[in-house]
Structure 1
C-alpha cells in the first residue's frame, strides 16, 4: 500500500520518455518524473521513493529527501505567503502549504516555525500546521529517569523551553539547567530528569547522576582545551556566565571537572588559567 507523504520501497515497472513508473506490487503505479530518476535505473530495480502530490493532486514519486514526513515534527522556513497560506521549504521541489487556519500566529517570509505534517482529510493533500497540541501524545509517558531521548526545541516559556520528545510527547527544560545557547527548532540529545505525578516530563541537556555529570563535564573541558590550543583563561574566580558561555556547564560542574582532571594529572592549574598536560 502506498503511503502518502512517507518513504516507500517501490519497484520500477516501466520506462517512458518523461520518466519511469514505480509500483507497490498491488497494481498501483506512480510516475517518477525524469529529473528524479537515478542514473542507470532499469525496469526491475527497487527504489526508495518519497510519495507526494503535484499541483493537480496526482501522486508523484521522487528521490528527493524531505526534511520531514507525514506524522512528524520539524522546523521549517517559510518562503512565501499569500491568501491561501504560507509555503515552507521542506526539502522537495513543491513547497509545503500551511493554511492560515493552521498558523498559531500569522507567518512571515524568512522565519522558521516548528511544524507538524499531516494529510488533510477533506482535501487529501499533505499540509502543515503550527497548532501542534492535538498531535502530541497525552497518554502516560513511556520514559524512565535518566533515559536518553531526542528533543526538538518548540517554544520558550517563563520557566525555560518546551520541547517535543521523540516526536510524541512534550517536556520542559528549565532555564537554570541550560548552559549553552538553545534555538527554536533545534534538535538535541537530552535526558529525562523525572516524570511527575501529573505526567509532565522534566529534562536535562546533561546525563543525570554525579558520575555521568562529571564524566560529561570532564570531556567537555578537555575538548575545549584542545580547541583553544591547550589553555583556557578560566579559574575558580571566573564568573558563572563566562564559564557557561565557553563550556556550556555550571560553575559547580566546572570546579568538579577541574578537580577530577587535576587529580588525574591531565591539567595544570596556573594563576591565570588551566593548561592541558600533553
Structure 2
C-alpha cells in the first residue's frame, strides 16, 4: 500500500494532468481524488504533463493537500534568521520562504518570541518526516562560524543573539564571528533574537570574541557616576547602597556590576560629591549643588522614600 504524503514535507512528484487552476501531481495512491493541486500561482516556472517537480506540501484552509514550488530558503540542518509570523497554543510559525510558515513547537523555543520578532532557527525533520524549526542552533552556529581574525580590540560589532544562558548572551555577526557578552558586561536585559551592538574586549584563541555593551572605563566612570548622582538627588541625597552592598543587589538596582559601582562611587568620593556611612551613601553639599545644576532644579523636591535594601 502506498504511503500517504504528509504536509510540511518536500517531495518530487510527477505532473499527471493540467486544468484551468493549475497542474495536478501524482498523490501516489492511484486514486485521482488524492492527486495534489499545484496552483498556477504556486508555480515558479511553467510545468507540463510528464514533468517531475520538487514541491513543498501543505494543507490549504479547507484541509486539502496542496503543493508549491516555493521551497524553504534553507535546507535541513541549516540555520536562518527568520521572522515569527504566527503564534498558537502549541508553538509558533516562522517565515522561511514557503507558502505557509514552518512550525516551531514550544519545546524547541528559547524564551517566547512574539509575532514580528526575528530569531535564529535550524530547519529539521521531526519523527514523522515533517519539516519543523528549532532555536537550538549552537552546534550549527559553531559549524557556520568563521574565526574573528580581522576583529579589532575596542571596535564596535553588531549581531543577532542566538542563545542566552546564566552566564551571558551569545551572538553572531554578519561576518559570521561568534561573540559572547558576560552578564556583568550587559547594560540592560537582552532577548534571544534581538540585534545588539557591543565593543570587542578580547580575541580568544579559538577565534571567538568576548564583548561588552559598556563604554570604556573612562566614559563609564562619568555615565555611571551621573546615574548614581541622579539617583541620590531624587531621593533626598541618600541611598542604602555602598561599596559594601551585595553585587546582585547593585546589578538589579543600577544595571551595572559591583566593580563598576565601586569605581563610580570612588570617583564621586574623590570629587567630594558623596560620602559613605554605615552602609549608606550620602550626597555632600557639593554633590547636591552638582545635582541641582545638572537638573536645573527640576528634581529639587526629590522623593521622600527611604529604601531598605542592602
1:258 to 2:257 alignment:
no
Partner of residue 201, structure 1: 209
Partner of residue 35, structure 1: none
Kindly state the Cα deviation for residue 75 of structure 1 after the two structures are TM-superposed. Answer: 7.0
Larger relative strand fraction: 1
1:97 to 2:114 alignment:
no
Aligned in 2, Cα 1:176/1:199: closer, same or farther, shift over 3 Å? same
Deviations 1:197-224 (A, max 9, x none): 221111122234x424423422433454
- After TM superposition, the score normalised by the length of structure 1 is 0.52
RMSD of aligned residue pairs (Cα, Å): 4.7
Q: Decide which of 198, 203, 218 is 2:225's aligned counterpart.
A: 218
Is residue 146–residue 175 contact of structure 2 (8 Å, CA) maintained in 1?
no
SS at match of 1:138: coil
Is residue 247–residue 258 contact of structure 2 (8 Å, CA) maintained in 1?
yes
Deviations 1:202-251 (A, max 9, x none): 1122234x424423422433454466576433123322211111112222
1:191 to 2:199 alignment:
yes
Q: Decide which of 228, 236, 239 is 1:232's aligned counterpart.
A: 239
Deviations 1:9-64 (A, max 9, x none): xxxxxxxxxxxxxxxxxxxxxxxxxxxxxxxxxxxxxxxxxxxxxx94599xxxxx
Is residue 86–residue 99 contact of structure 1 (8 Å, CA) maintained in 2?
yes
1:142 to 2:146 alignment:
no
SS at match of 1:202: strand
Which one has the largest radius of gyration? 2
- After TM superposition, the score normalised by the length of structure 2 is 0.47
Distance 2:223 2:275 in 1: 20
Partner of residue 243, structure 1: 250
Distance 2:222 2:185 in 1: 17
1:170 to 2:174 alignment:
no
SS at match of 2:269: helix
> How many residues are matched?
198
Distance 2:99 2:213 in 1: 33
Kindly state the Cα deviation for residue 174 of structure 1 after the two structures are TM-superposed. Answer: 2.8
Partner of residue 115, structure 1: 119
Partner of residue 93, structure 2: 87
Q: Unmatched 5+ residue regions in structure 2?
A: 1-39, 45-73, 123-131, 293-310
